[in-house]
Structure 1
Amino acid sequence: CNCLLLEELVCLFIDFSSNTLPWIDHLPIPKIRQTLCFLYCNGLMDHIYVCQYGASCTSWYKTPTHFSGTLDAFVKITRNEGVRSLWSGLPPTLVMAVPATVIYFTCYDQLRDLLRYGMGFQGNYIPLVAGGLSRLGAVSVISPLELVRTKMQSRKLTYSELRVCIRSSVAQDGWLSLWRGLGPTVLRDVPFSALYWFNYELVKAHLCDQYNVSQATFSISFTAGAISGAVAAIMTLPFDVVKTRRQIQLGEMETLGVPVKYPTSTWHIMRGILAESGYRGLFAGFLPRVIKVAPACAVMISTYEFGKSFFQKMNLDREQRAC
């Protein structure tokens, strides 16, 4: 859990910009009703400010900010909202990450051993199947918490405002609305995990043969995790863009105060992104996602393998002393 906390602290601000960049250029500009309210947008979030008669709002109104890249997003977000905003959504991220990691890694090990030793299957496809199924179970359980985290990062909402958003969405669309974005999340994470474990086992076996070791060392696990994580992240990035866009739609109508209609189908959203931005739009946020995923996968798998080896050795020593 300590290594998980450190990883989340380091990677969350990169995830924040990756959630921001794919969506920021596609926010709709609603027609403002003839009231005392108008929309103020700084490129990251939308607010409705009420100005009294005769009061000037120009002192705090700014032109919407656009991010030209990851570094530009870091600088402008820090300057406009402070360094702490880069870790926006940390509590639900930690609440989500711990059970997701426990479910994911435990299910993978159990399924892999079941397929290999319990059912007698052999071949390189075993990590692919076990990784995909274990991720499917994890994302199904954790999807509502990821939706909350993404919403908190995309819009600066207080917990009470976020609660209102969720309640209105549940009242309008039912409890299944909490799993909004599950489809593209599954399309992103299940292939990602399948590709990740498939490549990880291959790269790890190759490195073990190259360095003539029977068991992977920390550095071998770290290298194999980084390589396989980067490859899987690039191949599944379009689904991550779709997932982020769909989750940010939660409560958009209530927050903006205007009717905003969005397509709900994953393929409709993909076609819309292609029409607006071409294939580059499907790979928006490429750099921050790879920068986040590659080291995160490397840290998680290397510490997991090290911890598993450590406790296996400790249990073996305990059994030998007992005999």
Structure 2
Amino acid sequence: MGEVNSDGSSEKSCDAAKSITPWQQMISSCSGAILTSFFVTPLDVVKIRLQAQKSPLQRGQCFLYCNGLMDHVCWCRNGNGNNNKPVHWYKRGLPQPFTGTLDAFIKISRQEGPASLWSGLPPTLVMAVPATVVYFTCYEQCRNKLGYSDGLQHGQWWKPMAAGVIARTWAVTMISPLEMVRTKMQSEQLSYTAVWQSVKKMVRQEGVLRLWMGLGPTLLRDVPFSALYWFGYESFRSMIQKIHGKTRINFWENFFAGAASGAIAGVITLPFDVIKTHRQIELGNLMSSAGKNQTSSTFRLIQGLYRQQGITSLFTGIVPRVIKVAPACAIMISSYEYIKSVFRERNRLTQQMLTI
């Protein structure tokens, strides 16, 4: 992610920024998002199947699909298996119930085929890949503009945090209207033409800001997480560089730095994640055809959780969050940095050939 002089001084990262183009950064982040989605999706598919086994999902009911890379509000549709009707992946039942996570992995793979573990992959790719491309490319461009060099020496600790905040805010704001349209399309099973007409009508009646419904709770969690994650990642990365006396770290060192920083940021921002989850489901019910009630404000939601369940309600689900977030961050950053290094080497060889 940039070069540093042997004496540790920061000659800015102008040369580093030129060593790889924005298009190559976009390809690297796109590849990382696809790999992350592929490896982490089975975890959430199994989780949802286990939850549906205990409490079957009814038509029109919404649930949150989150594989550690991005969240989606999904709606249950028809498909009960009678009269040769197809059964959606989240409602499939097996002759014998699952007894646990490992048992679910084995039974689903044996009886439905391994491909069933990636049933939730398409909606992730539709939204997570473009969001990740915007996010990672924007982060590096902002970080380079701020003059950050490898290592947190000379009071540069705030630069990764600032770049992460800017990048996440920009990415979430850009993708939010697309997510709202996708969610509305799925909930009401509308065609593209019908969705476009519905969106135009909604904008006329309620204003263009309606397209960003739910943006606040998303930013409430994702912006602090992004700031803490990039600070943690750059800190671990700088530490590893200092210990080994090198300017770049390898795939597994990036993997460790990504997992550790993701886990720490995930734990610290857990209350924001709990609020966002409740808010997403609430907004999802409002957008579905069955949703009739108006949603409460985020502040009232926090008050309600505190009154009903106490402060501990804001820290529920810590284990599942870390289990998904840590590997997702590790796979994303390590694959992203590896593919960038491939492009960097390719550019170097190309430059050498041109100078001969």
TM-score (norm. length: structure 2): 0.64
The CA RMSD measured in Å over matched residues stands at 4.5
Cα distance in 1 for partners of 2:193, 2:305 equals: 29
Give the corresponding residue for 2:19: none
Could you tell me whether the CA contact under 8 Å between 1:104 and 1:135 is conserved in 2? yes
Give the corresponding residue for 1:270: 302
Structure 1 SS opposite 2:147: helix
Cα distance in 1 for partners of 2:315, 2:278 equals: 13
Could you tell me whether the CA contact under 8 Å between 1:192 and 1:233 is conserved in 2? yes
1:253/1:157 Cα in 2 relative to 1: closer, same or farther (>3 Å)? closer
Deviations 1:162-195 (A, max 9, x none): 9989949973745533422211111111111111
Deviations 1:136-172 (A, max 9, x none): 10111112344567789xxx95743999899499737
Cα distance in 1 for partners of 2:210, 2:313 equals: 26
Cα distance in 1 for partners of 2:222, 2:332 equals: 16
Q: Give 1:255 deviation, angstroms.
A: 4.6
Q: Which amino acid aligns with 1:12?
A: T
Deviations 1:264-294 (A, max 9, x none): x222111112222223322233222211111
Structure 2 SS opposite 1:215: coil
Q: Which amino acid aligns with 1:230?
A: A
1:262/1:158 Cα in 2 relative to 1: closer, same or farther (>3 Å)? closer
Give the corresponding residue for 1:182: 215
Give the corresponding residue for 1:112: 143
Pairing 1:59-138 to 2, within 5 Å after superposition: 71=101, 90-116=121-147, 123-138=156-171
Cα distance in 2 for partners of 1:117, 1:5 equals: 28
Q: Give 1:12 deviation, angstroms.
A: 3.0
1:7 lines up with 2:36 in the alignment: yes
Percent of aligned pairs sharing the same letter? 44
1:41/1:174 Cα in 2 relative to 1: closer, same or farther (>3 Å)? closer
Give the corresponding residue for 2:239: 206
Deviations 1:51-76 (A, max 9, x none): xxxxxxxxxxxxxxxxxx9949968x
Give the corresponding residue for 2:343: 311
TM-score (norm. length: structure 1): 0.70
Give the corresponding residue for 2:190: 160
1:14/1:115 Cα in 2 relative to 1: closer, same or farther (>3 Å)? same
Q: Give 1:203 deviation, angstroms.
A: 0.7
Could you tell me whether the CA contact under 8 Å between 2:165 and 2:227 is conserved in 1? yes
Cα distance in 1 for partners of 2:292, 2:193 equals: 20
Q: Give 1:15 deviation, angstroms.
A: 4.7
Q: Give 1:19 deviation, angstroms.
A: 8.7
Cα distance in 2 for partners of 1:73, 1:274 equals: 36
Unmatched segments (≥5 aa) in structure 2: 1-29, 52-57, 64-74, 79-98
Q: Which amino acid aligns with 2:245?
A: N
Deviations 1:101-130 (A, max 9, x none): 221111111111111169xx9521111111
Unmatched segments (≥5 aa) in structure 1: 23-38, 49-68
Between the two proteins, the alignment pairs up a number of residues equal to 286
Q: Which amino acid aligns with 1:206?
A: M
Give the corresponding residue for 2:251: 218
Q: Give 1:243 deviation, angstroms.
A: 2.0
Give the corresponding residue for 2:268: 235
Could you tell me whether the CA contact under 8 Å between 1:11 and 1:296 is conserved in 2? yes
